[in-house]
Chains A and B, each alone.
Chain A
Amino acid sequence: MTSDRQDFLDVIVQVASAEAAVELLSRFDVDCGCRPRLWPQPHGRKAIAGVVDEHTLAALRDAGYAIEVVGSASKRWQRAHALIVRHADADRPAVPRGVGRYGKDLARES
């Protein structure tokens, strides 16, 4: 989903039930991350949160789903890209430095 130049959108799709959510995931390419999750909504409704491209968004709307676009996944990924590309190799110590504390202040603990 990330290799072409389409915009990708973070969306919340309302569904009536778990069965309806399964049907949605079977018919449409909704990227739900590592785990599809069905979130409870007010008034007994449920929703799937995920990422869709513009074509899928249109298809979902055509199929009658209520969709809320909550953000741009493409922009979120651009921000992520800036974070995950290492810019300063020299700053990183050869031996990885954890975030735990040990040493004198914990020397007496046993």
Chain B
Amino acid sequence: MTGYYDLVGVEAAMAALEAAYPGLCVRIPLIHLSIENRQTHAIRINDPSAGANHGVLITSCLHANELGGAEIVLGFASDLLGAYTAQTGLAYGQKTFTRDEVNTVMRSVDVIIYPVVNPDGRVFCQSGNPNWRKNRNPGPNGTVGVDINRNFGFLWNHMPPGMSPEPPGSRSYAGASADSERETKNLQFLVDTHPNIRRLLDIHSDGEHVLWGWSHDELQSTDPAMNFMNAAFNGQRGALFDGYKEYMPATHQAKGKLVAAKVADAIAAVRGKQYALLGDANKYYPNGVFGLATDYFYSRHLVNPTTRLIQTWGIEFGTETPVSSWPEMEQIMADVGAGICAFCLDAAPKFGWPHAEVTPAWADWVNLAAEVVRVSSSVAAGGSGTTTPRGGPPEPVPPPVPELRALIDQLNALVDALTGQSTSRDRGATSV
């Protein structure tokens, strides 16, 4: 390869993948043309013969000048499809995913990839404006462009205390109103038309970070009333080290950090790049930011408890924006490709955490039950060797207590009933 895709190349690449892997890769046309009348597509990758799947959505290039996101996700799509078709494992540098793991992703996860959310911005960026970030929507007084990743309807156009909203024409202008942009609506369309999407990974540059949690303020899990919907705290959000911290259930925080750690571990295994885990608005230190896609999609189940939980993560790849040199970009493609593969693998019920349609209270109960099952299973396993809890170091197996078997079966049945799937027996792999 010789360089970064232009938009025509991105679209052609998706069409070529669909043609090369019939049935395994299907293009999804997005419903809204851009303001400059460009059509975009996403692709859905899975083996449909395996039945209903959990969905993950991977997005990139909301910001036009973060070009390499498209190369990363299209490269990963090609690798995953190629390895599955060849029925082999998949390796990035020193990180290897086994054939079974590739099969697991393809057979139990819908991997939905939207490579270029912001098509007009990419064209403008590649036409002599390499640091262009926004879309190309005309604004007031001859200004142009909205920052799509500030336009989502989550605390839209809020600013930390003491700061004024970005005016039209500024680099992070949030738009005329929440969710006003066609690119924003396209992402919402994609999520709303794929009700199995439970996780979102949004790829940006730069910084070498894996992001989870809220982006507008610090996290807390003890005061549910201190939340973004409570008007009593208006005017306090976005400043760090003050009294306000945003509520996120402890289980969601644990899950967010665990999955982020798996992604970072996979990235590190490729060639040793250490992507830092950043879990709250300190990642935007010295102030939080508002209107992000990740926060919006996670917040929806809190605004409307009848909607499903979508937990969200982000990656900031590389160390330079707009672009790294192409040889370095190929290394970054390997790093982040491994991270994406680990992300998809964790979404598979066999490997990941529960995927129930959960309220926060249910999540607490499901995870408590899962933990009891894990520990109890290790007790019943025989009392020698080690058990490896998810995300933790190996632990000694306690002495055998065979009478726990009946309790384990009851708890397994309970977890299965709550999650709607038979996943609980796979948690807590025991090696002896």
Which residues of A are in contact with B by a Cβ distance under 8 Å? 1-3, 18-19, 21-23, 25-26, 29, 31, 33-38, 48, 51, 73, 77-78, 80-81, 83-89, 91-104, 106-107, 109-110
Q: Which of B33-41, B159-167, B193-201 forms part of the interface with chain A?
A: B159-167
Interface centre among A37, A84, A92 (most CB of B within 10 A): A84
Q: Kindly state the separation between the CA atoms of A33 and B126 in the bound complex, as whole angstroms.
A: 18
B131 at the interface (CB under 8 A from A): yes
Given the contacts A106-B89, A110-B100, A83 and B323 also touching, CB distance less than 8 Å: yes
B 11-26 binary contact with A (CB < 8 Å = 1; else 0): 0110011001000000
Given A83-B3, A92-B5, A107-B86, 9 other A-B contacts at CB below 8 A?
A35-B316, A86-B3, A86-B5, A95-B13, A96-B78, A98-B77, A99-B79, A102-B89, A102-B91
Interface contact B3-A96, CB-CB below 8 Å: no
Cβ-defined partner of A34 (8 Å) among B63, B91, B92, B126 = B63
Residues of A close to B283: CB separation below 8 A: 35
B74 at the interface (CB under 8 A from A): yes
Residue of A nearest to B333 (CB): A99
Least distance between A23 CB and chain B CB atoms (Å): 7
Q: Looking at chain B, what size class is its interface with the partner chain?
A: 35 or more
Which residues of B are in contact with A by a Cβ distance under 8 Å? 1-6, 9, 12-13, 16-17, 20, 63, 66-67, 74-79, 82-83, 86-92, 96, 98-100, 102, 125-132, 160, 162-164, 170-171, 204-207, 239-241, 283-287, 289, 316, 321-323, 325-326, 330-331, 333-334, 337
Q: Kindly state the separation between the CA atoms of A99 and B334 in the bound complex, as whole angstroms.
A: 6
Q: Kindly state the separation between the CA atoms of A3 and B284 in the bound complex, as whole angstroms.
A: 27
Least distance between A101 CB and chain B CB atoms (Å): 4
Residues of A close to B323: CB separation below 8 A: 80, 83-84
Interface contact A98-B9, CB-CB below 8 Å: no
The 7 closest A-B pairs by CB, nearest first: A100-B79, A98-B75, A98-B79, A102-B83, A106-B89, A109-B89, A18-B286
Least distance between B121 CB and chain A CB atoms (Å): 12
